[in-house]
Amino acid sequence: MQTHLSAASVTLALAVMAVSVPNTSLVVQARPMHADIVHIYHRYLEEKENVSSELDKWLTKYGPKGPKNGWIPVTESRSTEDELEDQRQRFYLTMQQIYEAREANPGATFGVDGPFTLMTMEEFKQYLANYHTKEEEQSNTPEPTTKKTKKPATDAPKTLSEGSGSPTTDSKDNKNDNNNDEKTYAPATEGPQVVPAIRRRLVVYNGSTCIASHCSTDAGPNIPTGAGASTGSSYCSACNEGSKTKGSGNSSSSAGLQGQCGSCWAFATVGAVEAAQCIAGGGKSAPVYSKQQLVSCDTKDFGCNGGAPVYAMQYIQDNGICTESSYPYASQEGGTAPSCAASCTPTKPGIKSIEKITPGDESALIAALQKQPIIASVSSDNTMWKQYMSGVITSCNTVTVDHAVLVVGYDDTSFKIKNSWGTDWGEDGYVRVSRSKQNMGTCAVLTDMSYPQL
C-alpha cells in the first residue's frame, strides 16, 4: 500500500531537519510541533522566554479546570518537556491570532487570559462542531413538501405552529447512551402572522428578583453596554436603567458554563424562559430552571451533540421543566448526556406561543428586545470569540452559524449577549457585538432569532 504524507507533515519534517546540529545525528530539543509555526519559528525562539512566563500564568489560572472543561487538548503520549513545548507553541500561535483580531476590531480587547488559549483554531472549531442545530436542518431523507408563506408587510414575528406538516427523520446518532428514541425534525415552515403582544410594565432582573422599572415603555432600551456597564447581571427587559449591581449568584443572573457538552441551545432556551417568566410575573421572584432536563430528556434535540432552541421551547411548552436544584446540570465534563431522570416534578411556565423573528430584520429584534431577551444564533468559530475579553466586536467571520446565545440588551451601536462559556470568558461571560444590517449582522446575530411568548 502506498504511503501518503500530508503537506503539513513534510513541512514539519523539513523544519526538524533544519534545526539539526551540523555534523551530528542529534536533533535540538526545541522543534516545530505545529505546521502553522514553521514560517515564524525563528521569531518564536526569540520570544520563547516571555512565552514561557505568560504560559505559566495561564496554567496557574486555567490548568486546574482545563482538563475537566476540555480547555487543554489531549495530545499523543510524549515526555513532560515535549508536552510543555507543545503548549508554548500553541500559546505563541494564539498570540499571533490575537494581533490579527485586534487589527480588525479596534474597539474590542482580545488576549490570552481566556479558557481557549491553548486550542488551535481547528480544535476550537471541533469543540464547537455540535453546539447548535437550526430546526430546519434536515437529514438525507427526502425533504417534505412545504408551502412558503409570503413575508408580511409588518415587522411582527412569526408563530411556530405545533404539529404543522409531516416531520422528517434525522439521521444523527442518538444523544444518550441508553436512549434509542427516534429523532424528528419539523419542517421549517413559517407560521401565521400574529398580533404584537401588549407591552407589559418593564422590569429589571437583579439576581433572583425582578424589580419594576419606572422608565417609560416608549423610551427604548437603557441597558448600558459600554465599558462601565455591569456585565455580571442579567435582566428581563431592554429597559435596565438603574440596574448596575452584579448578579447575586443565581445561575440565571450569571453566565453558565456548559463545559464539554454542546448544550448552548439548552442554556439559551432556559435563560429566555426564565426571563420571560420574570417579566410575566410583574416583578416577582423568578425560578432557575434545569438545563440538564433539556439535554437528557428532549428527544427532538441531540443532547451534548447540539440542538435547536425552538424545539427546546416546544418541549418545555408540552412537558414543563424542573428547577435547577431538583435536576442540576451534570454534563459539564465528558461531553455526554446522562439518561433522562424522572426524579423531579416539572412545572409549565406558561408558554403560549413560540415566536420567530424574520432573519436579517434588526428592527424586529430591537422591538422584541424591548419586551424580553431573545435567543439568537451566532458564528463563534473564530479568533474574535475564542480570545474575546471586552469591548465591541465589529468584524467577525461568519462562515458557519454554530452557537446559540441570549441577546439581553442593546444601545445605539451594539448588542449585549449572554454566553454559556462561564464567567472566565469575555466580560464576566458576556460579549458585545456591533449593530449591522449587512450579512445578517455582526457574527451573523440576525440569522436565527426566537423567543417564548408567555
**Active site members:** 264, 403, 419
- The total of other beta-carbon atoms located within 10 Å of residue 263's CB is 36
| Nine cell digits for residue 103 | 487589527
85/83 Cα distance (integer angstroms): 5
Residue 264 φ/ψ, nearest 5 degrees: -55, -35
Q: Is 355 exposed, middle or buried (0-12, 13-18, 19+ CB in 10 A)?
A: buried
Check: CB of residue 186 under 8 Å from CB of residue 137: no
- The total of other beta-carbon atoms located within 10 Å of residue 435's CB is 19
Give the closest residue to 95 by CA, choosing from 386, 380, 381, 431: 386
Give the closest residue to 454 by CA, choosing from 221, 324, 273, 211: 273
218/371 Cα distance (integer angstroms): 11
3-state secondary structure the chain: CCCCCCHHHHHHHHHHHHCECCCCCCECCCCCCCHHHHHHHHHHHHHHHHHHHHHHHHHHHHCCCHHHHCCCCCCCCCCHHHHHHHHHHHHHHHHHHHHHHHHHCCCEEECCCCCCCCCCHHHHHHHHCCCECCCCCCCCCCCCCCCCCCCCCCCCCEECCCCCCCCEECCCCCCECCCCCCCEECCCCCCCECCCCCCCCCEEEECCEEEECCCCCCCCCCCCCCCCCCCCCCCCCCCCCCCCCCCCCCCCCCCCECCCCECHHHHHHHHHHHHHHHHHCCCCECCCECHHHHHHHCCCCCCCECECHHHHHHHHHHHCECECCCCCCCCCCCCCECCCCCCCCCECCCCCEEEEECCCCHHHHHHHHCCCCEEEEECCCCHHHHCEEEEEECCCCCCCCCEEEEEEEECCCEEEEECCECCCCCECCEEEEECCCCCCCHHHCCCCEEEEEC
